[in-house]
A = this chain, B = another copy of it.
Amino acid sequence: MTAEIVSVGTELLLGQIVDTHAAHMARILAGCGISCTRRATIGDNMDRLVATLKESLSRADVLITIGGLGPTVDDITRDAIAIALDDELEEVPEVADRLRKFFATRNIRMADSNLRQAQKPKCGRQIDNPNGTAPGLLCEKDGKVVIALPGPRGEFDPMATGYVRQYLEHLQGGQVIHSRVLRIAGMGESSVEELIRHLMDAENPTVAPYAQPAEVHLRVTARAATREDADLLIDPVVEQIRSILGNHLYGFNDTTLEAATIELLKKAGETVAVAESMSGGSLSARLTSVAGSSQVFLGGAVVYTVATKVALLGIPEELIREFGPVSEEVAKAMAVAIREKLGATYGVAVTGNAGPTADIDNKPVGLAYIGLATPEGVSVDQAKYRGIREDIQRRSTQTALNLLRNEILR
């Protein structure tokens, strides 16, 4: 069974609002095992909307519209659906009465256009909207289903996750599509793909890579009668991928690299402190974004100048003058100093040049040294990142977290 989603509203075509409803509806369809094959966005223009609805109905089994059900003349979805289904609108007397009462009890004169909300295509029925004046619509005709949902979030969300999800689950008769996202650090997208390409030809579950900022995600998706059955199909594929990628696979679904690292520290009963130059506090910020991080993250120093490296960390000024702030030696000294100063198991240090110019220390933009001090000693990784300042900072914290993670797992 396939579905298409049509979002209606000129404000969407102008980019004034982002279409989060369509993404939400897409997740609901996926969860019901219905394949969403296409989405479209149309402005408040009757000809274009009718044409788009007809095209969608010629292809898909289920058509879902979002928006354009309100009382104003701009709200054309109801009329467009009736035309696309070759049907007519009729008024539902009880709904018209309810609207009249709604305005009367609030002592507001009702604009006549409000009564349009009491209309429905003759072949369809209305979906109750306890959170607004515009009911939804559900039409079944010639083997096709059309569902119209209102645009305001407080009306859309409950109707979509409530009645409509149940209806769709029933319609589909039980099959679900269920995904698990595998999160991978320390490898590029093409390297990951090369190693697991033989798994990408399978049809159930499917395996697909996608690049995320400074990491790679693999989505494993199965079709089955229930979510539990889908998990049984997904589990062995995940195990295969794990045996290929090893520790590069750091977590699942919404687990971030910082959350995975904090979790490992908690389990090991160990702590970390950080000293940041290039990353400017963003490594600390990532660690402290995790609720409960205060158990294992002791704190850090953001040492953005030579004088600050001396004042906060006690790094000898001569060392910095001799090798430059962007150097292996200074990265080591920073990691060791913060580890000792705060009494942490691990000290992590980031120094480098995030750009946009090569003015710091005359080192090229993107060059970075990541230091890691442990109870056994101190090591440094050199890296060369591409991208804008934000990317370079992000990648440096990704390397730092991943080095720490691998050290804990060692």
Q: Which residues of chain A in 277-299 are interfacial with respect to chain B, using CB atoms and an 8 Å cutoff?
A: 279-285, 287-289, 291, 293-294, 297-299
CA distance A355 to B273 in the complex (A): 21
Q: How large is the interface on A (under 10, 10 to 19, 20 to 34, 35 or more residues)?
A: 35 or more
**From residue A288, how far is it (CB to closest CB) to chain B in Å?**
3
Selected interface stretch from A20-28, A89-97, A239-247, A367-375: A20-28
CA distance A276 to B281 in the complex (A): 10
CA distance A65 to B287 in the complex (A): 36
Structural contact, A291 and B14, CB atoms closer than 8 A: no
Q: Contact flags (1/0) for A77-93 with B, using CB distance below 8 Å?
A: 00000000000000000
Decide yes or no whether A386 CB sits under 8 A from chain B.
yes
Decide yes or no whether A219 CB sits under 8 A from chain B.
yes
Selected interface stretch from A163-171, A229-237, A304-312: A304-312
CA distance A55 to B58 in the complex (A): 14
Structural contact, B285 and A210, CB atoms closer than 8 A: no
Selected interface stretch from A188-196, A261-269, A316-324, A400-408: A188-196
Cβ–Cβ < 8 Å partners of A44 in chain B: 208
CA distance A284 to B30 in the complex (A): 39
Decide yes or no whether A71 CB sits under 8 A from chain B.
yes
Q: Which of B190, B191, B305, B356 is the one whose CB lies under 8 Å from A298? A: B305
Decide yes or no whether A251 CB sits under 8 A from chain B.
no
Structural contact, A312 and B342, CB atoms closer than 8 A: yes
Structural contact, A311 and B219, CB atoms closer than 8 A: no
Q: Could you list 9 examples of A-B contacts with CB < 8 Å?
A: A11-B219, A13-B37, A14-B26, A15-B28, A108-B191, A152-B211, A297-B304, A302-B302, A307-B342
